[in-house]
Structure 1
């Protein structure tokens, strides 16, 4: 994510007999040059905590220093004690991949400052002083190894180092060990080579049979330059490996004292540490605040009043509620916990609650188009008025809107009191990292973000067996709450005669309700299977998919990515069914039966001309945050398909392989970067690292990363305690969960790392086809301050506009709905093309089974 660049000016010199680093109250001032990497914020957090330093970040292509003379960059460097040349994608031999990093090694003697190069920065340093940078025989991404070091310089007082490596290229010093010529192991390792006499080796990876000896650390003999190939900030690099930061700074201070302080006069500049710039701007334009004020005044009071009642709900299911209340299936949003046969959630830590959002005649709909930056607001309470606004920053709008509606008073045990429910597409996420979406003709545009503002909801707690009946309409909705209090016990009573096993025929009118449960199931199954018998499924071509896997691996070998999350979509064409059949709802019921998961969802929004239907059974939480500001990610990377012969022990052995663990580790480190960028150093913890979880059709490798928004809880409560009217332009400047959400898109488990470069590569490999809803996220933003979003995987969706008329053998034309089921996997250097195709198929089939009874493939 971008960082705020600080304007600086040179001020009067400071005269003092002490070392500049000993001046009272002065923190070390470190420049970090970012090569658009996805681990940058982890390094900054480590440096911050290790050195208590002020760190300013600039990108390798910062336009302020593009004059070509180098004068402006030299002047800029005068305000720093040291610099770090960070990691990033690419090759140091390509000037565009390193930019300002290469300038550090060309500094004149009087302008030099201590520099630590990490990964790409390390390679650039070595290249500048005679080394070659070459491709490795086998790239090492997410691989943790023990390295050999000489306990010297930045590795002094260091014991055994376990180091995480992320690189496809390596430095060749022309050393005896690298050329496989004779040489004594211990003595020759630490001597400079003839080709690079100024570079002293400090550490090696000596156990890599495929690549031979790989240089891991180096120092310049005369200049204040040090470098490490491995990543000291990675969660799997041990404490000894992270010591290089402290040791580097000690060496840097010694050099500064010898070479800078002899002048006594230090030219200081006005300096402020770098601050992460949220995707959400902190200042909202007046026209946006006026828009939101108009919306909130039309919807009701700015601060909604939560009214609620809790009622016993043992054995209550979402299907029971929707059927009994005759909710309009053409406008429904349901986030549902998958249940085991005994009624307990499949995963209690993530799938505890089911949320039914009631879309009423007064529900406001928000649709945002990324390509045109157009926000459509449909306000039924204003006679279905549709307003179109040009809003470059939709995240600022959403944050501002939710701050206006922030409230208290709901049940603390209910995660959702009301607010926005909906989805965010993959392409909306691309916009947050400044990657252009595939170009789409206006006629083919679909909303990239779609939310509805829910004022009435029913939340079912499947652990305590309590249902929360909630409204944001205050006393005006007491009658509705009373009706629900009376109705739900009757639903529970009838629920024992209901079943979800084959998509019970919900909302279909009294004629069907007169049938017995068994009769309804049988009739429903026959009608569904009749349609599915006429369906047509187009799978990804295996040879083409394998070719794409190899293309991904070529990008990895070139150093442009650590891993690439390749995806493809299966297209399912099904005859358009009459509304009374409720086909979409019924196949969703089938999906949740065959593949129950913590994050089930059925969403049907929009008009008949521009409607969308989503049936999801996702196992993966993307991001949740509580009302007190605790954020949690649960990335899934590493999958084994269940078979009758496979035991859990077998799955654990497979998922403990270096390939599977590397996939997960890369995403964990990427998520730590995203989270550090918003919540700051010291506020991110990995609560669970690469543990196996069992699901209905697969075993998965799961990690849990948490972070705390500083001061968010107290800040929210203070705002809500005030009785003064609140306006968007007066919104609190503190970060919220929505800031974290916007800073983390697209989901790292669907992109690879580094995220920006990986997304650019994938766009080309996937033929510039938009992923759409698949690979995005869906969930809710709660008026109480919380939020929860799942990754859109194990999901089928359709747009009404995509329906096709297909000519039949008799010459007639028949209308078909077009459903899409996406699936894929993380391609690494250790992948096999066939293995990746089979993994994609296993993931896809867990969803596709909802359509495949009697259907035929083409």
Structure 2
């Protein structure tokens, strides 16, 4: 019988641990890696289990090696008795813990290194035997200081010159089989000191075990109850499937070539989007590259609408006037949604069309944060949006902006009459002539009040950035995405009043014109309305088999103005140490999230490339992962919800390590984000899906439409932070009697790193707010 090498990886709640596990699998062929948290088992239980492992890896993590809550059982592993001793390799916090336990001092770096690449000088011995030049990624704000009296031998250094001087990058114990590195060998941008270091560690570990006559105990299945199965897990952990789930629906499709000038808004208006009382969903490429397909849900009175709020033990399902409640039981919302879609899987649609039908809507930031670190919702008097707000779309129209084709689709059996009627209407649809709405000019000529805009308090926001940087300096995070809400009280659009139509729809049309984006959306799912011009795809996944996951994080944006050519944008973005470091951190975090679900097959297809969009240049990376072979033949739309569970909230909106960053941000921001920085998109009945980050967006609770005769809201001027009456530019306007006002919220913020300038971060946040606020002025909603 072939005995596979067995590695125990101890995770200190980091966001790179699965990357380290994947590195182990490459460096130690055929090994099994078991991953546990540093507080999963007490030392008294863990130590007797070490005899079943060939070696242990102590992974990185936030915090300090001097804080027992940050390192858990790790500090005890360095002091285990000789009879239980096994080879150990530490990374980052692992090195710091090893050093502190044997007498070294822990200090703060004068200049922290988060996502920075350094040349590593090494001895060429031990774990560096045969290793050439090393360019290593560093994520640390603490470092170890040696007096020379410790039982430790330094093996490598980084020369930070006047910044920090010489910083220890690797250590070994003089007698015990302990080695460690300060840098991150698992980072995508580490070269020379990654896989080769782990191979050398394994060689030294086996040599030590042989010389000390250490043998590994034969593995028994009962140990899974303590340390779990080896990663990646097989078979995948899905709910048992009932016989009824095997039913597969057929998708029926009609294709229509659209006439010239027939666009997405016109099709939506044909379908009744202007009726504010009805739900409506549109996922819109807005004609903005690299977007291509727009999805219009053709909802009926009985289209199943699913809502869920964290803390509840049930899911609401509304169909017309009927409301039912599905108990979650011992499951969670992700497993419930996965089972819901498995029972409705379909086949037979046009393969080139990404959406055949399925769930469309949004998932809040708090839904992801709660999965990561369960915290009950904040108490408050404001109306709260559902954390999951989705509708199951059985009839849809997908518009291909490249071919100018519309795909009319239905998953309902016997729906030929509807398909034919809609196809004929689209076939005869033509853009209205200019001047088609003669009353609009009259409505727009009526003086309208300026929107009442309340920006975040400038001084408070800047103080939060200073506080965030202190968390970065203390080693608790590498990057924190600090955000704040802006509140807008805007008069209903005169165009909407003139025609008795939807004010939010008129506002959305202006937004998509002024700020076209590939992941725009108009979602009216009462009681929430969301308008989005998001440029950032979060997660897409193709239909099985051979499902491919792709994430495209954006970190770094430059607006396209005269003089900002591609060459200039590349220098400002790809040539910026700060921008590249921010992007790198999120890339490494996303690789970890992908590895946790799909297994080993994860690759960075594009790193920090400047892409051109309609109004901006952006620094974009592309990370892809494929399902493990054991899952390829399973016909199920499960991959998406497994990935959403593992990867929300978006790392680009939190920072890293994600769990600690989310906890810090919750206290720092002092309020829920709600819909903002969650995701919007779809889960397709064929098993695919596409979700975008909710940024450059605004939303309202539909019960917040109020009459007013003299609004008295205060607005904060973006440049001085004082509360002043009026609009964003300081202007004010009286309200005509009886004017209806809508309360909108939009969030904005930025990734704070050690290199961030608080004043510049405030200005960047205001700029992001203004990109959406312009729509309120230009739509006549003010």
TM-score (norm 1): 0.82
Once residues 189 and 271 of structure 2 are traced to their aligned partners in structure 1, the CA distance between those partners, rounded to angstroms, is 51
After TM superposition, list the pairs within 5 Å mapping 1:368-767 onto structure 2. Answer: 368-380=308-320, 383-387=321-325, 389=327, 393-441=332-380, 444-474=383-413, 476-491=414-429, 494-495=430-431, 497=433, 516-517=435-436, 519=438, 522-523=441-442, 525-526=444-445, 530-531=447-448, 533-576=449-492, 578=497, 580-606=500-526, 611-628=527-544, 629-655=547-573, 656-681=575-600, 683-711=601-629, 714-716=632-634, 719=635, 736-767=639-670
- SS of residue paired to 1:232: coil
- SS of residue paired to 2:346: coil
**Aligned-pair CA distance for 1:496:** 6.9
Structure 2: gaps (5+ residues): 712-734
Once residues 706 and 141 of structure 2 are traced to their aligned partners in structure 1, the CA distance between those partners, rounded to angstroms, is 46
**Aligned-pair CA distance for 1:545:** 1.1
2:50 to 77, 82, 107: 77
Evaluate the alpha carbon distance shift between residue 472 and residue 524 of structure 1 in structure 2; reply closer, same or farther with a 3 A threshold: farther
Once residues 103 and 591 of structure 1 are traced to their aligned partners in structure 2, the CA distance between those partners, rounded to angstroms, is 57
Q: Could you tell me whether the CA contact under 8 Å between 1:622 and 1:791 is conserved in 2? A: yes
**Aligned-pair CA distance for 1:441:** 4.5
Once residues 639 and 672 of structure 1 are traced to their aligned partners in structure 2, the CA distance between those partners, rounded to angstroms, is 22
Q: Could you tell me whether the CA contact under 8 Å between 1:117 and 1:226 is conserved in 2? A: yes
Once residues 281 and 439 of structure 1 are traced to their aligned partners in structure 2, the CA distance between those partners, rounded to angstroms, is 32
1:774 to 667, 670, 676: 676
Evaluate the alpha carbon distance shift between residue 234 and residue 497 of structure 1 in structure 2; reply closer, same or farther with a 3 A threshold: farther
Once residues 250 and 443 of structure 2 are traced to their aligned partners in structure 1, the CA distance between those partners, rounded to angstroms, is 42
Q: Does 1:42 align with 2:19?
A: yes
Q: Could you tell me whether the CA contact under 8 Å between 2:342 and 2:638 is conserved in 1? A: no
After TM superposition, list the pairs within 5 Å mapping 1:763-842 onto structure 2. Answer: 763-767=666-670, 769-803=671-705, 808=710, 816-842=741-767
Q: Could you tell me whether the CA contact under 8 Å between 2:116 and 2:139 is conserved in 1? A: yes
After TM superposition, list the pairs within 5 Å mapping 1:139-158 onto structure 2. Answer: 139-158=112-131
Q: Could you tell me whether the CA contact under 8 Å between 2:358 and 2:682 is conserved in 1? A: yes
Evaluate the alpha carbon distance shift between residue 415 and residue 91 of structure 1 in structure 2; reply closer, same or farther with a 3 A threshold: same
User: Which residue matches 2:722?
Assistant: none
User: Which residue matches 2:239?
Assistant: 283
Give aligned pairs, total: 741
After TM superposition, list the pairs within 5 Å mapping 1:189-228 onto structure 2. Answer: 193=148, 195-196=149-150, 198-228=151-181
Q: Could you tell me whether the CA contact under 8 Å between 2:444 and 2:780 is conserved in 1? A: no
Q: Could you tell me whether the CA contact under 8 Å between 1:33 and 1:86 is conserved in 2? A: yes
Once residues 736 and 381 of structure 2 are traced to their aligned partners in structure 1, the CA distance between those partners, rounded to angstroms, is 31
**Aligned-pair CA distance for 1:125:** 0.4
Evaluate the alpha carbon distance shift between residue 517 and residue 212 of structure 1 in structure 2; reply closer, same or farther with a 3 A threshold: farther
- SS of residue paired to 2:396: strand
2:31 to 53, 56, 61: 53
Evaluate the alpha carbon distance shift between residue 266 and residue 479 of structure 1 in structure 2; reply closer, same or farther with a 3 A threshold: closer
**Aligned-pair CA distance for 1:798:** 0.4
Q: Does 1:108 align with 2:109?
A: no
2:190 to 237, 262, 265: 237
- SS of residue paired to 2:392: strand
Evaluate the alpha carbon distance shift between residue 220 and residue 133 of structure 1 in structure 2; reply closer, same or farther with a 3 A threshold: same
Once residues 819 and 566 of structure 1 are traced to their aligned partners in structure 2, the CA distance between those partners, rounded to angstroms, is 20
- SS of residue paired to 1:308: strand
**Aligned-pair CA distance for 1:265:** 8.8
Evaluate the alpha carbon distance shift between residue 713 and residue 242 of structure 1 in structure 2; reply closer, same or farther with a 3 A threshold: closer
Once residues 214 and 623 of structure 1 are traced to their aligned partners in structure 2, the CA distance between those partners, rounded to angstroms, is 38
Once residues 664 and 672 of structure 1 are traced to their aligned partners in structure 2, the CA distance between those partners, rounded to angstroms, is 12
**Aligned-pair CA distance for 1:276:** 6.0
Q: Could you tell me whether the CA contact under 8 Å between 1:33 and 1:100 is conserved in 2? A: no
CA RMSD in angstroms, aligned pairs only? 2.6
Once residues 277 and 535 of structure 1 are traced to their aligned partners in structure 2, the CA distance between those partners, rounded to angstroms, is 54
Once residues 711 and 820 of structure 1 are traced to their aligned partners in structure 2, the CA distance between those partners, rounded to angstroms, is 44
Evaluate the alpha carbon distance shift between residue 88 and residue 240 of structure 1 in structure 2; reply closer, same or farther with a 3 A threshold: closer
**Aligned-pair CA distance for 1:845:** 1.5
Once residues 568 and 854 of structure 1 are traced to their aligned partners in structure 2, the CA distance between those partners, rounded to angstroms, is 24
CA offsets per residue over residues 475-522 of structure 1, 9 Å max, x none? x2111111122211221xx22747xxxxxxxxxxxxxxxxx2474663
| Deviates most, 315-324 or 159-168 | 315-324
**Aligned-pair CA distance for 1:72:** 2.2
Evaluate the alpha carbon distance shift between residue 828 and residue 437 of structure 1 in structure 2; reply closer, same or farther with a 3 A threshold: farther
Q: Does 1:364 align with 2:304?
A: yes
Q: Could you tell me whether the CA contact under 8 Å between 1:117 and 1:228 is conserved in 2? A: yes
Once residues 631 and 264 of structure 2 are traced to their aligned partners in structure 1, the CA distance between those partners, rounded to angstroms, is 32
Evaluate the alpha carbon distance shift between residue 742 and residue 253 of structure 1 in structure 2; reply closer, same or farther with a 3 A threshold: same
Once residues 456 and 463 of structure 2 are traced to their aligned partners in structure 1, the CA distance between those partners, rounded to angstroms, is 12
Q: Could you tell me whether the CA contact under 8 Å between 1:438 and 1:763 is conserved in 2? A: no
**Aligned-pair CA distance for 1:853:** 4.6
Once residues 313 and 216 of structure 2 are traced to their aligned partners in structure 1, the CA distance between those partners, rounded to angstroms, is 52
CA offsets per residue over residues 577-636 of structure 1, 9 Å max, x none? 658142100110000111101011001112xxxx21111010000000011311110001
User: Which residue matches 2:289?
Assistant: 347
Evaluate the alpha carbon distance shift between residue 796 and residue 550 of structure 1 in structure 2; reply closer, same or farther with a 3 A threshold: same
Evaluate the alpha carbon distance shift between residue 520 and residue 417 of structure 1 in structure 2; reply closer, same or farther with a 3 A threshold: farther
Q: Could you tell me whether the CA contact under 8 Å between 2:27 and 2:195 is conserved in 1? A: no
**Aligned-pair CA distance for 1:372:** 2.4
CA offsets per residue over residues 7-39 of structure 1, 9 Å max, x none? xxxxxxxxxxxxxxxxx5111111111100000
After TM superposition, list the pairs within 5 Å mapping 1:306-325 onto structure 2. Answer: 306-313=251-258, 315=260, 316-325=262-271
- SS of residue paired to 1:622: strand
Evaluate the alpha carbon distance shift between residue 430 and residue 705 of structure 1 in structure 2; reply closer, same or farther with a 3 A threshold: same
- SS of residue paired to 2:61: coil
Structure 1: gaps (5+ residues): 1-23, 175-192, 340-345, 499-515, 720-731
| Deviates most, 579-588 or 155-164 | 579-588
Once residues 233 and 579 of structure 2 are traced to their aligned partners in structure 1, the CA distance between those partners, rounded to angstroms, is 33
Once residues 194 and 33 of structure 2 are traced to their aligned partners in structure 1, the CA distance between those partners, rounded to angstroms, is 21
Evaluate the alpha carbon distance shift between residue 276 and residue 54 of structure 1 in structure 2; reply closer, same or farther with a 3 A threshold: closer
- SS of residue paired to 2:522: strand
CA offsets per residue over residues 190-230 of structure 1, 9 Å max, x none? xxx2x32x211111101443111111011111110000000
Once residues 778 and 265 of structure 1 are traced to their aligned partners in structure 2, the CA distance between those partners, rounded to angstroms, is 49
